[in-house]
Each structure stands twice: as C-alpha cells, then as structure tokens.
Amino acid sequence: MPDCAPPLAQITPASQALPAQACDSHFHIFGPADVFPYAADRPYTPPDASFEQMRHMHQQLGFSRGVIVQPGCHGYDMSATLDALDKGAGQYRAIALVRPTVNERELEDMDSRGVRGVRYNFVAHLANGGWDELAQVAPRIAALGWHVCIHSDQASLMDLLPRLKRLPVPFVIDHMGRVAASQGVANDAFQALLALRDHPNAWVKISGLDRVSSHGKRPFADAEPLVAALLEAMPERLLWGTDWPHPNVAGDMPDDGELLNTFLRLCPDRAMQHQILVDNPHTLYRFGS
C-alpha cells in the first residue's frame, strides 16, 4: 500500500503563457507498479504517477520539455524512466541512479536515450551511494558531458560544497539545498549556496519550496525570500522544477500551478523567465533544436 499522498487532482492554472520550449527541470515518474515494480528495499511506496499523468500536468501549465529524476522507490532499475524518455520523443531528459559498477555500454545507452546526469542523495532517510561512490563515478561520466545532481539538506550542504567544487563535472543542487527557510537569507548555508555564482560548474534548482518551508503550509511564503535572493544573484545558472508528484511531503500537498505562479510573480522579467525556463535547461541537458 502507498505510504505517500497522491498529487492534487486539480491545480491552479498558470497566470501567464510560458515561453515556447519551457522546461520543468525536476519531477519523477512512479510506476505504474504493475508494469514497473518498485524496488524491494525502497525507502517509500508512492501511488502510481505515470508518464501520461505527468504529461497532462505539463500540458495544463504550458511545459513542453522536462527532466525526469530517477526516484529512490525504483532504485537502480531505470526501466520506468527510460520508457518515459522513449515516449517523450526527444522532449524529455533524465537524471539516473547508478551503481558504481555501471559499465560504459550502459552509460552510453542511457546517454543515447536522454540521460544527462547521476543523482546522489545526502538526506539521511534517502541516502544512496555516498561520496566515495560519487567520486568514483564522476570521472567516468565526464566524457559524456553529464553532471552530478545533489539532494542535500541543511545538515549536509556545507560539508558537500567544497568537495563538489573540485569535481571534474558540473553539479546541480536540488531544492535550493533544502536549507531552512526559518533561518532566512543570512543563514550560513544559504549564503554558501549564493556564493556558487562565482563557480562556473555550479547550478541551483528553484524547486521544493515546501521542503525548505518551516511551516509546510501553502503557498510556502517563507521560502520566497530565498527564491528572490537566488534570482538576483545567479539567474544564468538557475533551473526551475515542480518536484511533481511531491513524494514524502510533510505538510500541505503543493499545487504545481501555484508553485509556478509564485516563480512568475517573483521573476516578472520575461527575458529572465526565458533564461531560467528555456535557455539554461537547453544548455545543461542538451536538448535538440
């Protein structure tokens, strides 16, 4: 039985039309479990969230591109994600979970189908691999032009950043590092995140407002100052994502349209919207024309 709530069945419409080829740079595909079973040692059991459900959500909001992040509930079995990439006909990319023993043929096959990076979790209840495995895999993915995608939190971010800066590949910090919104923009961990503007291989995702919020109540307004500070500091290396279907939420289930409208309100400049929703993901994930 699922131990996670499903996403909202009805979401708020987008407040304005998105630019052509707008990209949702962070979401997951779950199952369907009768076709793509969940891993036996999974850290959570979600309700199914299929490619078709995701595509419907994107069509409602105006996204035509997206990046599927391999979820922990499927472990190293990439079948559901690769199937979604095949169905997406070039409009989707993906981030994988891989064993340190993954071979070059497997990496090249994933690359040909749209995988562009490898994710590592440093949040205690989701931890996969660890730094030693990341350091072992990073040089092997460099030749493919991939990056590492980092799921950190307030407890792990500061220790990770100096090591990430020494990697031979770009790195992406998911969910604004999951720093604590309650500590504000002056928080040392968030200031370290802002300082990544000076590092050419660093990217940050504006996503997971509910995961940094101190109260977990929609519309997660206490996270907005963090978003505004990132927009001011480093728009040329920001990405935006829904985090649909929002596994393991502790508070209110996010409304994906409301999350999008918060971003559009905080980023009213159309040129900057285009940069974050279109240009930046086009560069990092190597979408075709």
Q: pLDDT tens digits for 49-92?
A: 999 999 999 999 999 999 999 999 999 999 999 999 999 999 99
Which residue, 37, 203, 46, is CA-closest to 116? 203
pLDDT at 125: 63
Q: Which of 210, 243, 255, 256 is catalytic?
A: 243
Tokens representing 59 are 């069509």
Spell out, as residue ranges, where the chain has pLDDT lower than 50: none
pLDDT at 126: 61
Phi and psi angles of residue 237, each rounded to the nearest 5 degrees, phi first: -135, 35
CA distance 289 to 287: 7
Q: pLDDT tens digits for 110-122?
A: 999 999 999 999 9
Q: Per-domain residue ranges for the chain?
A: 23-285
Residue 243 is among the residues annotated as catalytic for this protein:
yes
Tokens representing 224 are 């907005």
Q: Return the CATH architecture of domain 23-285.
A: Alpha-Beta Barrel (3.20)
